[in-house]
Structure 1
Amino acid sequence: MLLNEVLPVLAQYWPLVLASVTIGWLLNNKFSRGLNKYPGHWLAGYTDWWRFWDVWGRNHQWTVIDLHREHGDIVRLGPNVLSFADPRAIKVIYGLNKGMIKSDFYPVQNAVSKGRRLQSLFSTVDENYHAKYRRCVNSAFAMSSLVNYEPLVSSTMSVFLDKTQELYANTGDSCNFSQWLQYFAFDVIGDLTWSKRLGFVEENRDVDGIVAFLQKFLSYAGPIGQMPILDLFLEKNPLRLFAQRIGLSNTVFPVTLFAQSRSNERAGQIHKIKSYGLQEEQGSTRGVDLLSKFAQAAFDHPEFMDDTRILTSCTSMVFAGSETTAISLSSVFYFIVRHPQVYAKLMQELDDAVANGVVEARSDKTVSWSESQKLPYLDAVIQESFRLHPAPGLNLERIVPPQGMDVLGTFVPGGTIIGCNAWVLHRRPEVFGADVDVFRPERWIEAKPEQLRVMKATMFQFGAGARTCIGKNVSLLEVYKLVPSFLRRFEIELEHPGAEWKTHNAWFVRQTDFNTRFRPRVESL
């Protein structure tokens, strides 16, 4: 009877009711969690839609930098989201045994196969699952494994340098350098994962449209990850996934199909490794690839490392192994060419290293990993490039345990999403100097040992703690080999001197309009 009385009133005054409910919801967001004491954009406390639209604008890293510079070390980015800028927060938020787990931002990035999510090391929020998974594949990514992978990287690098000569240096044609470097990174991933280049460099094209797909998917994942519930209505819609599981829909995640197709070509060999282990004779002077090591992990840990997780591991290499490395390479070359004094100083170091025998005078002018580690100014240039343009452009989110926790003297309630942004951390004046917005590699050489230790501890481009990017060493191998090898082989100049590139923060901050020309270089010995 009461319902009969209420419904007509609601029907008559529904606009007022709707407005009242909306205002109540907004005020609840703003004040109920106790986070209203933290400053930020005026809309951030009321709704995550502000964060969604700001990330959709593709320049969120600058928004967060500006907010922290205006409001201080703790900024509110959403009704339940805080951003921390003090580098000391890294150990608290991302340290071991802190009880922090990843937020729902990460499962948005799950690949899908036959209607089921593929939980990768990166995207899983289950810490026990992550620990088991990482134990299986950790040795494949250890620094000691680089000796196995360097021949594979060298193989692709030689082709890349020769094709650069053929397509650009000999012709004088303009090169979309960011895209060209991404083709290199993809072919390296092919060689590292399947012992097979995928044809990006040799054919100078986006094979199977996979680069375009990844860029589109990351552009989706960035903003959608700010309101993960939207993913359940879109890409990960339960009805859509169910239809795939029962065969009503044949939609396949392109990256999954890409990885599956390459792995199927080695099915017989992989089955043998899973059954009997990786035999020494299967190795070669080219090194043992990652697919073989993932299969070895299945042999060592059959209770966990099944075919789905082998596929997931390969898919993760495609997802993360190309985009971030290409961004890092583009950053290094861009900052070099934009700063002639740095360019000249680096070339002098390379020439001196060859003259002194530190770098072998190979006919193809390539530089080995061990040689690159003896070039201090090269290291400074790469570190400074990582500092000014880290690949991740959004906060690496973690959820505070239910009991809450103290973060640098501030109690944060349980369930709050907190995190740090590499772009913010890398511009801390007390760590890197007053000129934090300036590209100055010398800061890495001039710093005293203790200050250098703090600088390196603040670098966040690969994350921190137990969830540090597992492919970090592979990415560094590519960067430290290609940069000096390319510079010894070619002179680089911008197609339009003085022109600046554009950036697109699609979770990873990729670059566009980085157009260059190359000329063969003659060393001045």
Structure 2
Amino acid sequence: MAVDFSFFFAWMMTLAHVPGPRFAAISSVWHAYNARNGRMAYLGKTLHRRYGPVVRVGPNEVWFNTKEAFHAIYSSGSGYEKSDFYLATALNKPYIDWHLNPEFPDTLDLLSERDVRRYRIQRRLIGPVYQTSSLIQYEAAVDEVLARTVAKLKSLKGAQVELNEWMHIIAVECLGAIVLSWSPSMLKNGTDNGSGTHAYHGWRRKSVFGLFPLAAKLEFLSKSTGRLFSTIWGVNFQPPKDFRPFFPDVGKRASRRINAATKSKHHKDDRQDLLKDLISLHKSKPEFTVNYLRKMVITNFGAGHETMASTLTSIIAMLGSNNDIQEQVSREILETHNPADYSTATRLPKTQCLIKETKRLYPVISMSLPRTVPAGGLHLHNNYFPPNTTVGCNPVALHRNPEIFGSDCNEFKPDRWLTADSDAARNMERVSLSWGGGARTCPGRHLAELVVFKVIPALIKEFSIEAIVPPEDENRSYFLSMLTGVKVRFVERTTADS
């Protein structure tokens, strides 16, 4: 018993020099309590202001908000692997041995995969399919969705709607068109059937479980254990009354086409979409297995529908609540021929700055992207962090560091990207976790950019936007972050506006 206590005491003392909330040093309960209550963005804004560039947020976890930490932890080849937090986001059930070590099957789970060799192989396989040069062929599919979107929003005649829901509708419709040549009928029905709200509440649960890896492991062994832990922490949730998930439809449609394509040598499919390209990838490279193929189709929706909706929501919310900025961006778009063409939109400076600044101030992730310190430890900011310490940067905190983004870093100022000198602008671009970090950047980045850079100009061209954004302290953010409760009116432009 004395040996065990000595070991525990020594382990606790390794980070005793790191400042932070007192309770955080002795238990993960403090961190989990704040995650449960949706205070992750708030902590990102406040902890480093109080404690400095290095903050202890758990018995074995430290947050940083500096460019030095960003490069040390997230640079390619740094050796920092994803922490046990990602057990809570895993799509597949692992084998758990007697020592509670998980061993995951060889399936495609890009967010949660911690086998670096396996992950690199998967990324190399799908890389060419997800380059902009390949994805641009689906631009017409997005154009068709946007035509239906504009018509539907015009039919509302400026009525006030929930911004979250409508941006989620647009995101899922775009993904459906690009991946499966399919519409989930959300635009037609004017509702996402509660699927966005349901998914977001799921991140509340995942955020808490991720901070207790033992609970995540035990849930793999027993669902009832997971339900008990959820009940104790109060993170169970009931689906909305009108809830209708769209993932079963995605799975059925994908399975039918994959089965037909892989079981028949002479199968013809005239659809030109991402699934067809993934099937072609499987046929040309059998190491991209049928299992990988099935998982990748689902991943497009699983990884994309919430993150795209979050990004679009934040951009429209900021645009609709900042009249001067909306006037500048609108003028640029209205004076441009075909502003929603991807090649055109990505060259519009005011539009680019709007998107960059929104993603800086309101990143999709509001918890740290946690990594494990490798053998040899980490020497940083006059501190030593031993191997197996969990370290990371909270994007909210990193993106509000005044040494990187200026003394006005807490203000929404898109023009900062235009007025900064070349070195400062390059520094701001590099020190960003908007798409993840290093070798683990989002594989769907170019797909998301295609959608965002088309949706925003298309909406601004047709509508003036009026948004009512609740106070930031009313917003709830977990590992995934989203502005909620924003009310918006899309007011059709008149000839005079143009």
TM-score (norm 1): 0.82
Task: Measure, in 2, the Cα distance between the counterparts of 1:213 and 1:293.
Answer: 31
Change (3 A) 1:405 1:25: closer
**CA distance in 2: counterparts of 1:255 and 1:408, whole angstroms:** 47
CA distance in 1, matches of 2:470, 2:201: 26
Instruction: Work out whether residues 68 and 74 of structure 1, in 8 Å CA contact, stay in contact via their aligned partners in 2.
Output: yes
**Tell me, what secondary structure is at the counterpart of 1:88?**
helix
Corresponding residue of 1:308: 291
Q: Give the Å deviation of 1:44.
A: 1.1
- Equivalent position of 1:138 in the other structure: 127
Give the drift of 1:415: 0.7
1: CA distance, partners of 2:128 / 2:211: 33
Aligned to 2:182: 196
Corresponding position: 1:220 with 2:211: no
Would you say 1:513 and 2:485 are equivalent positions? yes
The SS at the match of 1:35 is: coil
Alignment partners' CA distance in 2, 1:517 and 1:466: 40
Matched, 1:53 2:53: no
Residue 127 (structure 2) pairs with residue 154 (structure 1): no
Query: What CA deviation, in whole Å up to 9, does each residue of 1:114-141 have, x standing for no partner?
Result: 9987541111111011011111111121
Counterpart for residue 282 of structure 2: 298
CA distance in 1, matches of 2:90, 2:34: 23
* Residues 246-304 of structure 1 deviation map (CA, whole Å, 9 limit, x = unaligned): xxxxxxxx78645421212323553269x68xx9x9666xxx4222222223223323x
Change (3 A) 1:173 1:316: same
For residue 320 of structure 2, what is the aligned residue in structure 1?
Answer: 337
- Per the TM alignment, residue 29 of structure 1 is displaced from its structure 2 partner at its CA by 5.2
In structure 1, distance between residues paired with 2:465 and 2:23: 45
Do structure 1's residue 347 and structure 2's residue 313 form an aligned pair? no
In the TM superposition, residue 392 of structure 1 has moved relative to its aligned partner by 0.5
Q: CA deviation at 1:179?
A: 0.8
| CA 232–293 in structure 1, closer or farther in 2 if over 3 Å, else same | same
Partners of 1:395 and 1:420 within 8 A in 2: yes
**Could you tell me which residue of structure 2 aligns to residue 90 of structure 1?**
70
**Amino acid aligned to 2:453:** Y
For residue 232 of structure 1, the aligned residue among 217, 222, 230 is 217
Q: Summarize deviations over 1:402-452 as a string: whole Å, max 9, x none.
A: 332334664321111111111011111122111111111111110111111
Distance 2:326 2:3 in 1: 60
Q: What does the per-residue CA deviation read over 1:149-200, in whole Å, with 9 as the maximum and x for residues that have no partner?
A: 212222222211111112x22xx42211111110110111111221112222
Q: How far is the alpha carbon of 1:471 from its aligned partner? A: 0.8
Name the SS of the counterpart of 2:24 in structure 1: coil
Deviation at 1:223, TM superposition (A): 1.5
Per-residue deviation, 1:397: 0.8
Superposed CA RMSD: 2.8
Match of 2:20?
A: 40
Distance in 2 (alpha carbons) for counterparts of 1:258 and 1:399: 38
Question: What percentage of residue pairs aligned between the two structures are identical?
Answer: 24
Give the TM-score taking structure 2 as reference length: 0.87
Write out per-residue CA displacement over residues 314-339 of structure 1, whole angstroms, 9 at most, x where no aligned residue: 22222210111111111111111111
**Counterpart position of 2:231:** none
Tell me which of 261, 266, 270 is aligned to 1:270: 261
Of 304, 329, 335 in structure 2, the residue corresponding to residue 321 of structure 1 is: 304
Which residue does the alignment assign to 2:12? 30
SS in 2 for 1:324: helix
**CA 1:401 to 1:256, structure 2 compared with 1: closer, same or farther past 3 Å?**
farther
C-alpha separation between the residues in 2 aligned to 1:330 and 1:219?
19
The CA distance in 2 between the partners of 1:290 and 1:114, in whole Å, is 29
Higher Cα Rg, which structure: 1
Hey, what does 2:230 align to over in structure 1?
Answer: none
Displacement, 1:233? 3.3
Contact conserved, 2:166 with 2:191, CA < 8 A, in 1?
no
1:182 pairs with one of 151, 168, 176:
168
Residues 474 and 50 (structure 1), Cα distance of their counterparts in 2 relative to 1, 3 Å cut = same
8 Å CA contact 1:328, 1:391 repeated in 2 = yes
Aligned equivalents of 1:255, 1:347: Cα separation in 2: 34
Residues of 1 paired with 2:305 and 2:423: CA distance?
34
The number of equivalent residue pairs is 468
Partner secondary structure for residue 459 of structure 1: coil
Give ranges in structure 2 of 5+ residues lacking alignment: 96-103, 226-244
How far is 1:492 from its partner? 1.6
Paired residues of 2:20 and 2:55 also in contact (CA < 8 A): yes
2:168–2:192 CA contact under 8 A, matched in 1: no
Give the distance between the partners of 2:191 and 2:25, measured in 1 at CA: 45
Amino acid at match of 2:181: S
Matches within 5 A, 1:338-377: 338-353=321-336, 359-360=337-338, 367-377=340-350
User: How far apart are the structure 2 equivalents of 1:258 and 1:212?
Assistant: 18
CA offsets 1:344-402 (integer angstroms, 9 cap, x no match):
1111212232xxxxx23xxxxx6211111221011111111111101101100111113
Q: Secondary structure at the match of 1:184?
A: helix
1:213 Cα deviation from its structure 2 partner: 3.8
Contact in 1 for aligned 2:89/2:112 (Cα 8 Å): yes
* From 395, 401, 404, the counterpart of 1:431: 404
The equivalent position to 2:89 in structure 1, one of 80, 98, 109, is 109
Indicate if the aligned counterparts of 1:503 and 1:509 stay in contact, CA closer than 8 A: no
Partners in 2 of 1:120 and 1:138 — Cα distance?
A: 15
